[in-house]
Amino acid sequence: MKRILKYTFGILSFAIILAVILLRPNDRESFSQTHYAQRTLERLEQLPAHPPPGVLLAGIGRTEITPTIGEPLAGYGARNPMSSNAIDTPLYARALSLSNGHQTVTILSADLLLIPPAMRQHILRELNLPPAAVYFSATHTHSGPGGYAPGFLYELAFGEYDSRTFQRLADKLIRTIRISRMDLQPAAMQSSQLGTTLPFVRNRIEFGAEPHATMNLTAVYRPGQSNPLALLIIASPHATCLGKTNRSLNGDYPGALQQKLESGHTHMALFMAGAVGSMTVVGAHSERACVQHTSDTIAAAVGAALTHIAHRRGTINTVALFSQIV
């Protein structure tokens, strides 16, 4: 009995000490005033002011990454069991490469929870590219493949690590990047911020706080084509319409959004998760209704923006392109 009390006291003492060390008041300071923001601005000031311009070239690549049923899902540590039991929707990796003849940058997004550092480093090493040559992102679906993130903490959300799963996924992401870089052709580009009056995002940390509802859209066109070659969409809600009880592979609302846009608006749509930290989806009557509502709302905003962009489209853009890790 004394030993049990001793261990209990030790665990409680450790928990209290850890809480004292780690817990801090909720920081409401604007990020623009933080030390890391100031350091970033200082580094940006050191970059070349006038990189060499050139004609904009763009290329796209897409590869299916749907795993087999039975492999772990990533997203919820409380999902039990973590293995998938069905495939609702196919999952993809998508890449958009941009170049001006002097520098080429690839934007990669995949129907994944995230791309961990080990995966990024492996891909860059295999492609023999510097870190600034590829921007890695994900849709942040919580019903996508797992098992590819090494490390104890990752395994809590990704399931048991399997080196074969890691290699298979890495090979497909590498292939997607290569396809997009081999597809470079002259292009024009337009960017816009999106808004909507329909509720689709809420603050999950502070009840009633203003959510980050602004979305960003970049449309890339090739000469003579009415529909964009690619659409790049950034939005903030967590891709958690489907909860921890779901065991089907599913792209959640970003996957549905990309499918809608590729069915009528563009050759390829890339969704990149924005400030998902405190942002999540507005609840609906059911998980599937949430997927439908959120993807429909964002798709409608994108469609309205494309109508506006069509009236101010230019010809081939000459751009100064510069990418560097700061």
User: What is the token pair recorded at 308?
Assistant: 């506006």
Spatial distance between the Cα atoms of 219 and 193, rounded to a whole number of angstroms: 11
Spatial distance between the Cα atoms of 175 and 115, rounded to a whole number of angstroms: 16
Within a domain: residue 61? Answer: yes
Within a domain: residue 164? Answer: yes
pLDDT at 44: 82
Cis ω on the peptide bond leading into residue 150 (within 30° of 0)? no
129 closest CA partner among 86, 98, 174? 174
CA distances from residue 219 to 100, 139, 147, 227, 290 in whole angstroms, order as listed: 17, 18, 34, 9, 26
pLDDT at 226: 84
Place of tokens 């100031």: 38
Residue 287 belongs to what domain range? 53-320
Within a domain: residue 94? Answer: yes
Spatial distance between the Cα atoms of 4 and 15, rounded to a whole number of angstroms: 16
Are 259 and 64 within 8 A, CB to CB? Answer: no
Are 198 and 297 within 8 A, CB to CB? Answer: yes
Place of tokens 């911020």: 193
Within a domain: residue 45? Answer: no
- Number of folded domains that form the chain: 1
- Residue 315 makes CB contacts below 8 A (sequence gap 6+) with 188, 223
| Range list of β-strands (E), the chain | 53-55, 57-64, 73-74, 86-87, 92-99, 104-110, 134-138, 144-145, 185-186, 188-194, 201-203, 215-221, 230-235, 248-249, 268-273, 279-281, 318-320
CA distances from residue 115 to 4, 45, 138, 252 in whole angstroms, order as listed: 42, 29, 7, 17
Cβ-based burial of 177 (10 A; exposed 0-12, middle 13-18, buried ≥19): buried
Place of tokens 């170049």: 99
Within a domain: residue 93? Answer: yes
Are 30 and 157 within 8 A, CB to CB? Answer: no
Within a domain: residue 26? Answer: no
- Residue 192 makes CB contacts below 8 A (sequence gap 6+) with 216, 217, 218, 219, 305, 308, 309
Within a domain: residue 37? Answer: no
Are 170 and 276 within 8 A, CB to CB? Answer: no
pLDDT in tens, the chain (326 residues): 555 655 566 567 666 765 666 666 666 667 777 888 888 888 888 877 777 788 999 999 999 999 999 999 999 999 999 999 999 999 999 999 999 988 999 999 999 999 999 999 999 999 999 999 999 999 999 999 999 999 999 999 999 999 999 999 999 999 999 999 999 999 999 998 888 888 888 888 777 777 778 899 999 999 888 899 999 999 999 999 999 999 999 999 999 999 999 998 899 999 999 877 888 898 777 999 999 999 999 999 999 998 887 656 555 566 666 666 65
Within a domain: residue 145? Answer: yes
